[in-house]
Amino acid sequence: MSTTQKFAVIGGGSWATAIAKMLCVNLPEIAWYMRNTYAIEHIKINKHNPNYLSSVEFDTNKLKLTNDINEAVAYADYVIFAIPSAFLSGELEKLTVSLEGKVIFSAIKGIVPETSLIVGEHFHKTYGIPYDNIGVITGPCHAEEVALERLSYLTIACGDDEKAKVMAQNLSSHYIKTKTSDDIIGTEYAAMLKNIYAIAAGIAHGLGYGDNFQALLMSNAIREMKKYIKKVHKMKRNINDSAYLGDLLVTGYSIFSRNRMFGNMIGKGYTVKSAQMEMSMVAEGYYATNSAHKLNEEYKAKTPIIDAVYDILYEGKEPKKVFKKLTDKLD
C-alpha cells in the first residue's frame, strides 16, 4: 500500500524492531529513533538489530536511522512510541520540536510512573494532544512471532477511525491481520493489566501449580480485568474480544512472555532485584503492578490477583503463602 503519510518509530527494543519490520513492508521509508548508537551503526552495516529480533533483516535504504528523537519526530506525521513506560518521560524531556499536529500511537504496555497515567492519557493531559490524534497498537501479538512471520493479529484503537485505518493498513501484510477499535482507554488499560496477570501465571508456574490452576487463574483474571476497566472507563465493550482476552492469554501462556518469565523466577525463589538483573528485557508488569494498585485505591475494583502480585513484588511477602490465600478467593 502507498501512502503520503510519514511514519517514525521511537524505541530500540523488540516491539520497536517488530513494528519497523511491519512498516517497511508497505512504506518506502521510515524514521527510526534509538538511543544506542552502536545498534544504529550495526544495522547500517549488518542489516539487523544486534540486541533484539536479530533474525529480522532490514532493507537499510528504507530506514532513516537516528539517535536524535527530535529528528525522528520532525520527520513524521505518525509517531509510534515503543519504549518501556518507565523510560518514556525521560525520552520526552529531550523533545524540543512540537508534537502539535502529530498523530501519536502507543505500543507501550504500561503506565507512566511520573503521572500514573496510561500513555494515551499522558500525551493528552501533559502535551495537549487531542484524543482524535492518539491511538494504541495492541495484540494479541508477540514481537518474536512477528520476526518469524507467523500469522499474528493486531488491534488498532483510535478516536478517529480514519487514522486507525491508516495505521492498520500500513501494519498489515500476509502474516499480520489488523482490526480497528474506538476503545482507546480500555484497550490500553487491558494491555497494561494483562502483564500483571502474566506475572501471576508465572509465579503460579514457578511455585509448582499446574495447568488446571492456571486455567482458573486466567478465567478469574479476565473477569477481574473487566471490573477494573469498567471502573476506569465505562463504555460498551466485549471483554472476550482478542484485544482483551486474546492478549491476556498469549501473555499469560507464551514462552515469549517476559512477564510470565519474570513471575516464574519470582515463584522459584528469585528476589525481585535478582530476577530483574537476570533478564535482558524489561518486564512491564513489574511497574504496572505498583501503578494499578495505587490507581485502584481510587477506583476500588475487586482485584485479588493484582493485590496478590503487589504483595509479593512490593511488600516482600512470601509467594507461597500469598498464593495459598489467593486460591481461596478464586472460583
Residues that constitute the known binding site: 87, 109, 143, 258-259
Lookup: cell for 89: 518521560
Between CA 44 and CA 66 the distance in angstroms is 11
CA 101 to chain centre: 24
Between CA 194 and CA 191 the distance in angstroms is 6
Between CA 184 and CA 65 the distance in angstroms is 29
* Peptide linkage before 130 cis (omega within 30 of 0): no
Feature table: binding site for NAD(+): 87, 143, 258
Helix orientation angle between 319-327 and 304-314, rounded to the nearest 10 degrees: 170
Give me the DSSP letters along 32-82: EE-S-HHHHHHHHHHSS-SSS-TTPPP-GGGEEEES-HHHHHHH-SEEEE-
Closest by Cα among 321, 325, 283, 288 to 306: 288
Rg of the chain (C-alpha set): 19
Between CA 258 and CA 251 the distance in angstroms is 8
| Catalytic site positions | 194
Feature table: binding site for substrate: 109, 258-259
Q: Which residue has the cell 482483551?
A: 244
β-pairing, 78-81 with 7-10?
Answer: parallel
Between CA 242 and CA 140 the distance in angstroms is 6
Three-class secondary structure of residue 142 per DSSP: coil
Three-class secondary structure of residue 94 per DSSP: coil
| Helix or strand (DSSP H, E) at 248 | helix 247-253
